[in-house]
Structure 1
Amino acid sequence: MSAPRISPPAAIMRHAVLLITGALILAPFVWMVSLSFKPPGEIFRAHFSFFPQHWYALQNYTRALTSVPLPRYMLNGVIVCAAILTLQVAVCAPAAYALAKLRFRGRDLFFAMVLIGLLLPQQVLSLPLFILGYKLGILNTYAALIFPYIVSPFGIFLFRQFFRTIPDDVVHAARLDGLSEFAIVWKVMVPMALPAIIAFSIFSVVGHWNDLFWPLIVVSDPNLMPPPLGIMSFMNAEAGNDYGPLMAASTLVVLPLVVAFLAAQKWFVEGMTGGAVK
């Protein structure tokens, strides 16, 4: 059955809404990049201009990279995000497989607990997690930045929905070939769910790369600060009211996420929509 045709006025209206929404979303990022190219005297001028009259990009980006250890902050972000994502996939994939393909008593209850976990904001659990981190003696370490996120309710939910789209005959055939349940997860289910894993990876990396709340609580060592916390330290300690280097540092922090999303957007859309169609 062919999709219903949309009238020209409706199509124009739809594209106009999309263009306006996209412009509103992109405007702060474009303005941030514009400020990173401007000298201090042009940032607070009364008239509005995206393009600087005097290019100050080299000075701003040089200060962003040398005034504070921004490369170290970004390296910390890579270490933390990579460790969190690896552990999340290692935990969420088997849990999602059990909820999607295995039958056992209490399965629905466990899935209900996952859904409840999706509803709880991070701030609700911050105090007990902080106390637990103190008891374990891991505050002000990489472990403090990683361990609260090892289990992701969203990851379990997303993988479960995608695993349910895989026919049960595939699982039965793998069992007949002598594969254990864990082998089925890693040799059959995970390769077939690669789009969902890529989509989840984007959510996970973006969320934890931009996380400020939890690192602000558990980390005080500058050598362990992730990018958002490092930028805040940069603004308070070094830049003051000089927003050019601050915007340059923010641009450098956001750029890897933009590049990663543009490179993986095809798999991101497929992963997000694959679990919705069975």
Structure 2
Amino acid sequence: MSISHTRDLAVPAAIIRHAVLLITGALILVPFVWMVSLSIKPPGEIFRATFSFWPEQFYGLENYTKALTSSPLPCYMLNGIFVCGTILALQIAVCAPAAYALAKLNFPGRNLLFALVLIALLLPHEVLSLPLFILGYKLGILNTYAALIFPYVVSPFGIFLFRQFFKTIPDDVVHAARLDGLSELAIVGRIMVPMALPAVIAFGIFSVVSHWNSLFWPLIAVRDQSLMPPPLGIMAFKNEDTGSDYGPLMAASTIVVAPLIIAFLSAQRWFVEGLTGGAVK
């Protein structure tokens, strides 16, 4: 097959590939565009049969003001920052040493433990909600920050991701650190984690997005409004008697989603590098 013929086939394939990506991206963005559009519309325009992104009467100031004042949304946001930040810090503290042991240490049962980690990846967290609720009740931590944090401290995905990245680091680095007198924990904290910074950032984005958006477990674990994370808190805009106040609800949802979008766009280079780094050794 000639080079020119190969190029002729590559152009339509590239067009089809980009068309599929554009269509998929558009489908993903449609709900977010709709959410932002509804957040700046008055109630009379929200349920119109025809859709237009920009409203005839701009109502964004009223909707966003109501979102921030009619419920303690800033408190919910601070709760989300505290809970997600604490979870991420504890997950790195637990998952990095576990991943280092699976990647760089030889001990009986290592392969079995890694197999259990892979099995744990297949289990949705909702399956464990009942035993976790009973355990939380026995420990007396329900309706506290601890109930929102401790069920997520051990992350099978974090262990797997760090282990794959640690495998790409030459063993000579570890041997040299041991010759310098560093303990195994010091090697993890001072050498492995800094070298795996892209993986840490990628995992951090996954962890924060997952727990920032979590609704199922917080709905079970806490009742006090002052402890509610953002997804649970914005349910305050739902009224069974008068119906949901969709304008402020969409405004609150936009405020809740905005930090995640900004964080991802700021760290997308490290995010991709962290996910692909462990795939090549």
Which bin holds the TM-score, normalised by the shorter protein? Answer: over 0.9
Correspondence 1:116-127 to 2 at 5 A = 116-127=119-130
Question: Identity over aligned residues, as a percent?
Answer: 79
CA shift at 1:238, angstroms?
Answer: 9.9
CA shift at 1:237, angstroms?
Answer: 7.3
Pairwise CA RMSD of aligned residues?
1.3
The partner residue of 1:182 within 172, 185, 204 is 185
**In the alignment, what sits opposite 1:29?**
32
1:213 and 2:237 matched: no
Q: Is the 8 A contact 1:158 1:275 kept in 2?
A: yes
CA shift at 1:18, angstroms?
Answer: 0.4
Correspondence 1:59-208 to 2 at 5 A = 59-208=62-211
**In the alignment, what sits opposite 1:232?**
235
- Going from structure 1 to structure 2, the CA distance change for 1:31 and 1:110 (only over 3 Å counts) comes to same
The TM-score normalised by the length of structure 2 is: 0.96
Unmatched tracts of structure 2, length 5 or more? 1-5
CA shift at 1:76, angstroms?
Answer: 0.4
The partner residue of 2:20 within 6, 11, 17 is 17
- Going from structure 1 to structure 2, the CA distance change for 1:242 and 1:63 (only over 3 Å counts) comes to same
Q: Is the 8 A contact 1:67 1:238 kept in 2?
A: no
- Going from structure 1 to structure 2, the CA distance change for 1:238 and 1:276 (only over 3 Å counts) comes to farther
For residues 101-127 of structure 1, the C-alpha deviation after alignment (integer angstroms, 9 at most, x for no partner) is: 000001011111111110111111110
The partner residue of 1:249 within 228, 241, 252 is 252
The partner residue of 1:48 within 45, 48, 51 is 51
For residues 2-40 of structure 1, the C-alpha deviation after alignment (integer angstroms, 9 at most, x for no partner) is: xx9661111111111100000000000011000001000
Q: Is the 8 A contact 1:130 1:218 kept in 2?
A: yes
**In the alignment, what sits opposite 1:270?**
273
Distance 1:234 1:227 in 2: 12
Distance 1:68 1:94 in 2: 41
For residues 222-259 of structure 1, the C-alpha deviation after alignment (integer angstroms, 9 at most, x for no partner) is: 00000000011232379833211100000000000000
Distance 1:175 1:212 in 2: 45
The TM-score normalised by the length of structure 1 is: 0.97
Letter in 2 for 1:261: F
For residues 78-118 of structure 1, the C-alpha deviation after alignment (integer angstroms, 9 at most, x for no partner) is: 01000100000000000000000000001011111111110
Letter in 2 for 1:127: L
Q: Is the 8 A contact 2:237 2:245 kept in 1?
A: no
Distance 1:241 1:152 in 2: 36
- Going from structure 1 to structure 2, the CA distance change for 1:92 and 1:165 (only over 3 Å counts) comes to same
SS of alignment partner, residue 21 of structure 1: helix
Q: Is the 8 A contact 2:237 2:244 kept in 1?
A: no
Distance 1:50 1:269 in 2: 32
CA shift at 1:193, angstroms?
Answer: 0.1
For residues 197-224 of structure 1, the C-alpha deviation after alignment (integer angstroms, 9 at most, x for no partner) is: 0000000000000000000001000000
Distance 2:273 2:222 in 1: 37
SS of alignment partner, residue 7 of structure 1: helix
